[in-house]
Amino acid sequence: MIKVVKVDKHNKYLGLIEKEKAHQLKGMLHRAFSIFIVNSQGKLLVQRRSRYKKLWPLDYWTNSCCSHAKVKEKIIKTAQKKLKQELGFTTKLKLIGKFRYNFKYKNIGSERELSYIFIGKYDGRVRPNKKEVYDFKWANLEDLKKEIKKNPDNFTPWFKKEIKELAKEF
């Protein structure tokens, strides 16, 4: 049973809660992170979520990697481990911001998270874990923004919100 860190709107620790329970109904606010990997050509690594994801599976493109904070571990360390697990590499990450969101997925559940946003640079080989990632590509940020505008339902809602913050970093 996987547990996530439950917090209040001020990011105050409230305890641990089962991941499944945190995502039910309207969701319970918990800590998470999103990672954006950019290569030396300025292209962003985006992934299409695995069919095994309960919320926003398969047909949705999203940021390079995302997951939940662990208790008693610095969130950047957890992010590094998840990056290696999902995409097969590690790189230095820089915190560029954080924000809260609450998005409902059909009648299945919700993402209600306080998300730390990290950015990193990488030019090597990507080896996605098929249980986590269905597909991936390197995309030009401007082309990606146009695609989001044209086909917003092809992207996770948090990605559409976070991409605006990321644009400030380019």
Closest CA to 116 of 156, 89, 160, 78: 78
Residue 65 a catalytic site member: no
Please state the φ and ψ torsions of residue 20, each to the nearest 5 degrees: -60, -45
Hunting for tokens 């998470």 — which residue is that? Answer: 32
**Contacting residues for 39 by C-beta, under 8 A, at least 6 apart:** 45, 121, 122, 123, 138
Q: Which of 65, 66, 111, 162 is catalytic?
A: 66
Q: Which of 86, 111, 113, 162 is catalytic?
A: 113
- Catalogue the active-site residues: 66, 113
